[in-house]
A and B are shown apart, each in its own frame.
Chain A
Amino acid sequence: MKKISGLKCRECGRKYQAKAIYVCEFCFGPLEVDYNYEQIKAHISQEKIKTGPNSEWRYWDLLPVETKSVISLGEGFTPLLPARNLGKLLGLEKLYIKNDAVNPTYSFKDRVVSVAITRAVELGFDTIACASTGNLACSVAAYGAYAGIKAFVFIPIDLEKGKIIGTGIYQPNLIGVEGNYDQVNRLCSEIADSFPWAFVNINIRPYYAEGSKTLGFEVAEQLGWKAPDHVVIPLASGCLMTKIYKGLKEFNMLGLIGKVRTKFSGAQPEGCSPIVTAYKENSEIVKPIKPNTIAKSLAIGNPADGYYAWKTMKETGGFAETVNDEEIIEGIKLLAETEGIFTETAGGVTVGVLKKLAQTGRIKKDELTVAFITGNGLKTQEAVSEAVSRPKKIAPTLKAFTEEFPWIKR
């Protein structure tokens, strides 16, 4: 028996075969992968997971592929670090950072792309594609190159140079679309309907999204097989949060961890905060907005999983908060200065919101809290180029050095 039982509509519950489809034909709700949990439960165990590879594929039993020949660059199983300095500063006694900035292409997107491309090849596709503003583009290009299949990556033409180079180096078919985000979105939806390609964030989305569950699995395993008390997660489409929650719930259902009482708090930039706005207005309808923020990887104005992220925060007793552009930069600096981790703007949003929630007592000081850092600072250097310390210029003499630093004792 296969472990994937099929796809299921999250709105009306209608079931479909596990093909490359993503929208329910009846209610137009999103489709999600459904598993044969009884079968999985019969042979999954902590011991079995521990002997698996040091990547997200140690959780193969709970990922939506049937093949054992997975396409992997070693993504996942990233460090969970006790953040003592930052914790002390914020008055949090048990703060951890899940550092997903150290994946093969430096963001958590490698988790989802590894799953998506493995499933796409398994379904018989020879071309992988995506629409992206950065991190996903890099990842799809890299995994496409490694898998030896054709890759088409659609980006807005005015994307930052660093991201274009970071994607272009893998030699995908890189298409810069002249138009705003809405136009790129519409074009990609049309292309996905017209060509037999595996668009990771369109027709492969149900499988792709499942990769994010592994962040939840890992945190639980790294904490000694238990769920944290509180998590702070950046929100773009909202998918990451709902999947981390799903991951913890699956672990509990399979008897791998105890009860999940984790509060899920969401972080968005002020310039693109449709989910936080819905949370604060107590409205289950997430209204689309036009993004304007330096946190480009979170700039999704019409979040596909916004409602589900809203529901996760409400259901778990979590909070939702925003930070402005200055606070994002402060957040990036704070994490670097206290914990030695250089994160991108999305991480600045997470740290900024973590700080706000701690200072207002919404995160309690004795709660075991995990903040998710999902991308690397080297990707968005321009955001902090004015804010970092410059080298002190001195002549090549000992005298010049001691004059510059008179307070250093010999």
Chain B
Amino acid sequence: MPKRQLDLIFPEEMIKEPVIWEMSKKFDVIFNIRRARVTETTGELVIELDGEDGTLDKAVEWLRKKGIKVKPVTHDVLE
């Protein structure tokens, strides 16, 4: 199954929400948290998602709708 490495940035109001748990209940994706940090106003989670392409797209879209910024870990490659 395809894997995606993602960088998730959480707004302050979402930090206490069990978003990743909820995502894995709603969609058939396996998550593996590699790195995380939380400051006063923001949370960042570096995560790997494993699942079918279509399911991964839906899971990412659901995260975005929750107000989480989702970017591939390669960051912007345009320079």
Contact = CB atoms under 8 A, between A and B. Distances in A.
Interface of A: 11-12, 22-23, 26-29, 109, 130-133, 135-136, 156, 181, 184-186, 188-189, 192, 199, 201-202, 236-237, 281, 283-285, 287-288, 297, 300-304
Nearest to A284: B39
A314 B4 CA distance: 32
Interface of B: 5, 7, 9, 34-35, 37, 39-44, 46, 48, 69, 71-79
A184 B46 contact: no
A197 B75 CA distance: 19
B34 A202 contact: no
B72 to A, nearest CB: 6
A156 B76 CA distance: 13
A28 B46 contact: yes
Contacts of B72: 185-186, 189
Contacts of A202: 74, 77
28 contacts: A12-B35, A23-B73, A26-B34, A27-B34, A27-B46, A28-B7, A28-B34, A28-B35, A109-B79, A131-B77, A132-B78, A132-B79, A136-B79, A181-B76, A185-B72, A186-B72, A237-B76, A283-B39, A284-B39, A285-B42, A285-B43, A287-B9, A288-B69, A300-B76, A300-B79, A303-B75, A304-B75, A304-B76
B35 A29 contact: yes
Kindly list the 7 A-B residue pairs having the minimum CB-CB distance in the complex, ordered from nearest.
A304-B75, A285-B42, A131-B77, A302-B76, A27-B35, A28-B73, A300-B76
Contact of B44 (A135, A285, A300): A285
Contacts of B71: 288, 302
Contacts, number: 87
A384 B62 CA distance: 43
A8 to B, nearest CB: 16
Chain A contact residues, majority secondary structure? loop
A252 to B, nearest CB: 28
Contacts of B73: 23, 28
Given A23-B5, A285-B39, A301 B76 contact: yes
A130 B46 CA distance: 25
Contacts of B41: 281, 283
Given A26-B34, A283-B42, 9 more contacts: A27-B34, A131-B78, A132-B79, A185-B76, A189-B74, A285-B39, A300-B79, A304-B74, A304-B75
A314 B33 CA distance: 28
Contacts of A281: 41
Q: Which of A156, A186, A288 has the most CB of B within 10 A?
A: A288
Contact of B77 (A185, A285, A301): A185
A201 B74 CA distance: 10
A34 B48 CA distance: 26
B75 A302 contact: yes
Contacts of A284: 37, 39
Contacts of B7: 28
